[in-house]
Amino acid sequence: MSQPREHWGSNVGFILAATGSAIGLGNLWKFPFITWENDGGAFVLLYLICILGVGLPIMMAELLIGRKTQKSPVGALKEAIGPWWGWVGAWGVMAGYVILSYYAVVAGWSLLYFVRTVGWSVGGFPAGLQTGDLFVEVIGNGGLQSVLSGLFMVATVGVVYFGVHSGIERVARVCLPILFVILVLLVGSALTMEGAGEALVFIFRPNFSELEPGGILEALGHSFFTLSLGTGAMITYGSYVSPDRSLVKAAGAIVFLDTLIAIFATIIMFSVIFTVPGMTEQVGGSTAGMLFISLPQLFYEVVPFGVALGPMFYLLVALAALTSTISLLEVVVSYFIDERGMARPRATLVSGGSIFVFTVLSALSFGAVPGLSNFEIFDGKAGVFATLDHFASNWALPLGGLLITLGVGWFMTREATEGELVDETTPGWFHYGAWRFFMRYVAPLAVAAILIAVIFFGVDFS
C-alpha cells in the first residue's frame, strides 16, 4: 500500500514552496483592504504582534507534527497526539477543499486581468472605459467565470500531479523569484509617487484611537489565513521535510517573507490611492474593488512605468495564487494518498475534479445564476462564494487552529516537541520555554477569543 514518502530536494526548495503557500491572495487582495478598513498604522502593528505571538509558534507546531510523523494531517495528528485527533485533520482537509473551491474563482480573475492589461499596454487603454462596469460584466458572465477558474484549476492539478519534488517544489523555485522581482519593481515605482509619503505614514504610524475591537480579531483571524495555518497545509508540507533539517529557521523565514510581501502590497496600493485626488473616497465597498476596479485604470494614468508594470502586477497575483492553490490541493491529495492508498495521479484528478464542481457553483454566484447568488445562510453573505468564504475564515480556520494548538500544547509531551524543535541547527533567537508558553496559553486564548467573538458577537472576518 505505502509508497516511499517523497521529500523536498533541498531546504531552500522547501522554504520556497511553503512561502509560496503562504503568499497569495491573502497578502495581495485581502490584507491591503482590511488595513484600509481598519485605518492603517495601529492595525498593522497589531497584525505584526499576532503574526509573531500566534502565527509563528503555530507555524512551528504544524511543521513539527508533519516532520515528526512523516504523514499528512489525518494520520499525523492521530500518531502525534491520539486516535481522536484524526478528526481534527479531517476537518482541516475539508477546510482546504472549501477554500480552494472559491479561491480559484478570484485566481481566475487575475488571469483575465493579466490578459486584458497586456492588451491595453500594447493597444492603449480604451478611452472612456469604466473599469467598474467592466468588472461587473466579468463577474456576471457565468461562462467566462467558469472557463477562467477552470483554467486555473487545470494549472493547479497539472502541478500537483507531478508530486512534491518535480511538481510543487519546481514551480515554487521558478515562481517565487519572479514574484519578488516584480514586487520590488512595483515598490520602487510606488515610492516615487506623490502619495508615497502619505501612504507610509498611514501604514506605519499607529493611531490607537482609530482602532476598533473588531480590528484586533480581524488581525488575528487574518494571520491564520495568510500563513496557511489551521487546515494542516503546513503539517503536510512539514511531512515532506527529512528529519535532519531545522524547522525553526524555516518557520522564521516563511513568516518573515510572508509578512514582508503583505507590507509591500500595502505600500504599492496606498501609494497609488493617495496620489489620485478623490481616490480615498472611492475605495471602500469591497476587497475586489481595489485590485480589479481601481488599480487597472490607474496603471495607465498615474503609475510610473505602469504600461510595463500593469501586466506584471496581474501576473504576480496569478503566480502568487497558483503557489497557494497548489498547497490547498496538496492537503486534499495527500489525504487520499496516505489514508486511502490511492496513487498520486488518480488522487489528484479525483480531488481536483470534485473541487471544481464547487468552484463552478462559486463562479456562478455573482449574479450569473440567481439561485446560487441570492440565498443567505450567514446574515449579509449572499450566495455560494460569500458563504464558503465566511464559513472558512470565521469557522473552519479558527476552530482547526484552536484544536491544533491545544493538541500540541497540552497533549504532546515536552520531550516530544522539544526534541523536534531544538538541535544544533536551532538559531539563537529561539527559546523553547517561550514557545511552549505561547502554545499552551497565549495562542489558545487568542484563538478562543476569535471564536467567541464570532459565535456570540457576530464579528465577521471574511
Per CB under 6 A, residues contacting ligand TRP are: 21-22, 24-27, 96, 99, 225-226, 228, 230-231, 233, 324, 327-328, 397
To ligand TRP, the closest distance from the beta carbon of 192 in angstroms equals 28
What string of DSSP letters covers 308-361?
HHHHHHHHHHHHHHHHHHHHHHHHHHHHHHHHH---HHHHHHHHHHHHHHHHHH
Cα(75)–Cα(71) distance, rounded to whole angstroms?
6
Helix (H) or strand (E) holding 378: strand 376-378
Q: Please state the φ and ψ torsions of residue 378, each to the nearest 5 degrees.
A: -100, 140
3 state SS of 377: strand
To ligand TRP, the closest distance from the beta carbon of 92 in angstroms equals 8
To ligand TRP, the closest distance from the beta carbon of 315 in angstroms equals 16
Report the residue number, 167 or 195, with the smaller CB distance to ligand TRP. 167
To ligand TRP, the closest distance from the beta carbon of 258 in angstroms equals 7
- Do residues 232 and 89 lie in contact, with contact meaning Cβ atoms separated by under 8 Å? yes
Report the residue number, 73 or 195, with the smaller CB distance to ligand TRP. 73
Report the residue number, 20 or 310, with the smaller CB distance to ligand TRP. 20
What letter would DSSP give residue 245? S
Vertex 366, ends 364 and 370: CA angle to 5°?
A: 75
Reference 249, options 1, 19, 7, 9; nearest CA is: 19
Report the residue number, 286 or 425, with the smaller CB distance to ligand TRP. 286
Cα(47)–Cα(31) distance, rounded to whole angstroms?
10
What string of DSSP letters covers 122-189?
HH-PPTT--HHHHHHHHHH-HHHHHHHHHHHHHHHHHHHHTHIIIIIIHHHHHHHHHHHHHHHHHHHH
Residue with the shortest CB distance to ligand TRP: 26
To ligand TRP, the closest distance from the beta carbon of 228 in angstroms equals 4
Report the residue number, 96 or 296, with the smaller CB distance to ligand TRP. 96
For 27, 81, 108, 362, the CA distances from 367, given in Å and listed in that order, are: 27, 45, 17, 10
Report the residue number, 13 or 26, with the smaller CB distance to ligand TRP. 26
Q: Please state the φ and ψ torsions of residue 382, each to the nearest 5 degrees.
A: -90, 135
> How many other CB atoms sit within 10 Å of the CB of residue 413?
8
Report the residue number, 317 or 421, with the smaller CB distance to ligand TRP. 317
Report the residue number, 327 or 348, with the smaller CB distance to ligand TRP. 327
Report the residue number, 24 or 41, with the smaller CB distance to ligand TRP. 24
To ligand TRP, the closest distance from the beta carbon of 72 in angstroms equals 13
Helix (H) or strand (E) holding 270: helix 247-275
To ligand TRP, the closest distance from the beta carbon of 399 in angstroms equals 13
Q: Please state the φ and ψ torsions of residue 285, each to the nearest 5 degrees.
A: 85, -75
- Do residues 276 and 195 lie in contact, with contact meaning Cβ atoms separated by under 8 Å? yes
Which three cell numbers, joined as nine digits, stand for 69?
510523523
Q: Which residues, in sequence order, are CB contacts of 50 under 8 Å at separation 6+?
A: 219, 220, 222, 223, 446
To ligand TRP, the closest distance from the beta carbon of 321 in angstroms equals 7
Report the residue number, 131 or 327, with the smaller CB distance to ligand TRP. 327
To ligand TRP, the closest distance from the beta carbon of 5 in angstroms equals 21
Which amino acid makes up residue 224? F
Helix (H) or strand (E) holding 382: strand 381-382
To ligand TRP, the closest distance from the beta carbon of 45 in angstroms equals 20
To ligand TRP, the closest distance from the beta carbon of 85 in angstroms equals 18
Report the residue number, 98 or 386, with the smaller CB distance to ligand TRP. 98
